[in-house]
Amino acid sequence: MSVTLPTPAEPLKIGTRGSPLALAQAYETRARLMAGFDLPQAAFEIVVVTTTGDKVQDRPLKELGGKGLFTREIEDMMLAGDIDIAVHSMKDMPVAQPAGLMLDCYLPREDVRDAFVSPGVARLDDLAPGQVVGTSSLRRRAQLLHRRPDLKVVEFRGNVQTRLRKLSEQVADCTFLAMAGLNRLGMADVARSAIDPEQMLPAVAQGAIGIERRVDDARAQAMLELIHHQTTGLRLAAERAFLATLDGSCETPIAGLAVIEGDQLWLRGEILRPDGSESLSDEGRAPIAEGAALGKAVAERLLARAPAGFFDWRS
């Protein structure tokens, strides 16, 4: 294939966070761009950005507050022209982008499931009453306590490597990680088992990489159009519309997963109280091109069913 790009006088600067997973995702993006345009590695420059979310490790994420804790500084650099594109875990991305930026390029989605990780226990169902689960995810915490109010949950922050170290220090009996992250790190063997979405519905956009750019950057637009993965985009349109309608973010106990079945999208969504005392689920189907309307409809049904005060966990 021959694609003419606006003159790439300068290397395309790819912004990323510095964790091993973030770097793996940036390398995957670079590899797809190199292959797609038959470009050498020198046509790209990977720029590592340390964000506030990366620097502050000793407080729960929800206390640090603010959507986009891991992305704002990267976006500011892109708006300033210091980087051209930014590679993100879509699970961590707010539903709307700042003025001047857009996010419409997705790489093929990885395994969407959560992994059960434990040195001593093989499966989620094998946990004994009173055992300790480490997680910083409000969703995983609420889903787990909903099914197993007998378990104890402790705060577990940090990247994949940090969490594994805490497990080896016996801070908790088990933890959960996204299968996608483990697979992308070549660490699938860390998962004792993968948890079926029926048992634990994943976070919206789990396993998907998105690439953000400036709205008016014709070179980046041409490059990203070629590597965009269509069906991942259709699934995320449904899931992110669902999240947007609930006004949720990665800081809320919300789960959502869309899959493609023939010419239809099937979306399932779940909202929970943070203590797990209540869980509401809903689902729907629509033609694949109508994901945004589907996500909105499923979210609106959940909102109509949610008792007063269901979302008041921040007060």
Ligand X SMILES: NCc1[nH]cc(CCC(=O)O)c1CC(=O)O
Give the residue numbers marked as catalytic. Answer: 92
3-state secondary structure of 67: coil
Question: What's the min distance (Å) between Cβ of 72 and ligand X?
Answer: 15
CA distance 147 to 144: 5
Cβ neighbours of 280 (radius 10 Å): 16
Residues found in the chain:
315
Cβ neighbours of 98 (radius 10 Å): 15
Nearer to ligand X, 30 or 91 (CB): 91
Nearer to ligand X, 54 or 173 (CB): 54
Question: What's the min distance (Å) between Cβ of 113 and ligand X?
Answer: 10
User: x/- binding map, residues 197-236, to ligand X, per CB under 6 A?
Assistant: ---------xx-----------------------------
Please give the residues from 231 up to 260 whose contact with ligand X meets the rule CB under 6 A.
250
Nearer to ligand X, 97 or 137 (CB): 137
Angle at 280 between CA 274 and CA 282, to 5 degrees: 140
Question: What's the min distance (Å) between Cβ of 217 and ligand X?
Answer: 25
Radius of gyration of the chain (CA): 20
CA distance 276 to 145: 5
User: x/- binding map, residues 167-196, to ligand X, per CB under 6 A?
Assistant: ----------xx-xx---------------
Q: Count residues binding ligand X (CB under 6 A).
A: 10
Nearer to ligand X, 46 or 180 (CB): 180
DSSP of 252-286:
SSEEEEEEEETTEEEEEEEEE-TTSS-EEEEEEEE
Please give the residues from 70 up to 129 whose contact with ligand X meets the rule CB under 6 A.
89, 91-92
The span from the first CA to the last CA of the chain, in angstroms, equals: 55
Q: Which contiguous run of DSSP H or E holds residue 13? A: strand 12-16
Question: What's the min distance (Å) between Cβ of 206 and ligand X?
Answer: 4
Question: What's the min distance (Å) between Cβ of 198 and ligand X?
Answer: 18
Nearer to ligand X, 237 or 297 (CB): 237
Nearer to ligand X, 46 or 61 (CB): 61
Angle at 138 between CA 132 and CA 141, to 5 degrees: 30
Question: What's the min distance (Å) between Cβ of 58 and ligand X?
Answer: 17
DSSP of 115-154:
EEE-SS-SSGGGPPTT-EEE---HHHHHHHHHH-TTSEEE
Asked if 33 interacts with ligand X (CB under 6 A), we say no
Binding positions for ligand X, rule: CB under 6 A: 89, 91-92, 177-178, 180-181, 206-207, 250
